[in-house]
Amino acid sequence: METKIFKPDQIDQAAAEIKKGNLVSFPTETVYGLGADATNVQAVEKVYQAKGRPSDNPLIVHVADISTVEKYAQPLNEKTKQLIKQFWPGPLTIILKLKPHVLSSKVTGGLKTAAFRNPDKEATLNLIRKAGVPLVGPSANTSGKPSPTLAKHVYHDLNGKIAGILDAGATDFGVESTVLDLSTNHPTILRPGAVTSQAIEKVIGPVVDEQKHVGKTEVPKAPGMKYTHYSPTASVQIVDNENQWKSVTEWAANQSGKVGILATDAILNDYNWPQNVETYSLGNDVKSASHALFAGLRNFDLHSDITDILVEGFTTEGIGEAYMNRLNKSAGQKHFE
C-alpha cells in the first residue's frame, strides 16, 4: 500500500479514504492520531493491526461537535456540559457511559463507556465533517513507541500500512490529551495532559487523580494504563536534579556506545559533553520540554548506535505532571543514580 501525504487543501481525498474503510493519520493539537471510521468494525480492526496494538485497549473517539457525543452517550450531566463549554475544542478527553449497542466493542474494549474528544485542529475537524462519521484516533505510531508530533514520525512507523497522512505541520502541545473519567460518581483523571487537574477543578470542583497500570486480566478505560508506552529502542534514564549532570558527563564518557542527552538549553550549554554524546534541546522550561519530549526520543531512536538516553526531569506541577507521566513510562521508572 502506498501511503499518501495529504495537505489541508486535500481533505476531500483524505475523507474519501476514510469512507472506503481505510486509515488516515490526522494531526491534533497534541499528537498525530490514526484515524478510522469509528462506526466501521473492519476499519477499526485495521487500526489495531497497523499499530500492533492489543485489541482490549479502548480507542478515543474524535468528534467535530457535541451533537455527535449526544448521539452515542447517555444524557450529559451539568458537570460534563460545563467542561465541554470550557475546554472543547481542546486537549481534554472525557469518558462517558454509552447508550446500549451504539459502538462496537472493538472501539470500547468491551466496556459500556467510551472516550470522546473534540480536537483543536481545524484540518482534522474538517476531515471529520467531510467523512461524516466520528473517527477513532489512537496515536499514529507503532504500539509502545514515542507518540508522533510530526507527519514524518508517522511515515517512519506506518509507511505502507495506512492509506494516508494529513500533514498540517507540527503539533502544539506534544503530549496527549488529559483523560477524565466522568462515568463514575467522582470525576477521575486517568491520564494527565495539557489540561491540568487544577484547571478542571476550577470548573467542576474536586477530582480524583488515579494514574495507574491495570492488571493483565483487566480492561483499561484509557490508553496508557496497561502496556509499555513511549519507549525508544535505547535505554532511558531520568536525571532528577541539576546536581547530577556533572556525574552524567563522567558516566557518559565511560560508555562504549553513544549516549543521547535530552535537556534544556541551560543544561546543554553548561557542560563540556564527551565526543560520544549527542544532544537534543528541550527548550527553556517544562512547557517547551513537554512539546519536544517525544520528538527528542524519536530523534535518538533513529540512531541505531545510541544505546542510552538521559532525560531531564521536572517537578510534577502543572504541565510537569503530564511530562513526568510520559517520561516515567518511557524510562520504565529508571532514574540516574
134 burial type by CB count under 10 A (0-12 exposed, 13-18 middle, 19+ buried):
buried
Q: What are the backbone dihedrals phi and psi of residue 178, each rounded to the nearest 5 degrees, phi first?
A: -65, 135
- 139 labelled ligand-binding: yes
- 30 labelled ligand-binding: yes
Distance of CA 27 to the CA centre of its chain: 11
- 230 labelled ligand-binding: yes
- 281 labelled ligand-binding: no
Cβ-contact 150, 136 below 8 angstroms: no
Give the C-alpha separation, 279 to 300, whole Å: 9
The grid coordinates listed for 40 are: 466501521
93, β-bridge pairs: 117, 179
Residue listed under C-alpha cell 476531515: 127
- 80 labelled ligand-binding: no
- 117 labelled ligand-binding: yes
Q: How many CB atoms lie within 10 A of CB 303?
A: 15
Query: How many helices (H) and strands (E) would you count in the chain?
Result: 12, 15
- 303 labelled ligand-binding: no
User: Three-state SS for 259?
Assistant: strand
Give the C-alpha separation, 255 to 250, whole Å: 9
The grid coordinates listed for 280 are: 537534543
- 53 labelled ligand-binding: yes
- 85-95 in b/e form (b: 16+ CB < 10 A) is eebbbbbbbbb
Calculated CA dihedral for residues 323, 329, 333, 334, nearest 10 degrees: -90
- 177 labelled ligand-binding: yes
* Cβ-Cβ contacts under 8 Å for 68 (sequence gap 6 or more): 134
Distance of CA 328 to the CA centre of its chain: 14
Annotated binding site for ATP: 53, 57, 113, 139, 147, 191, 230
Which residues are part of a known binding site for L-threonine?
30, 62, 117, 177
Binding-site members are: 30, 53, 57, 62, 113, 117, 139, 147, 177, 191, 230
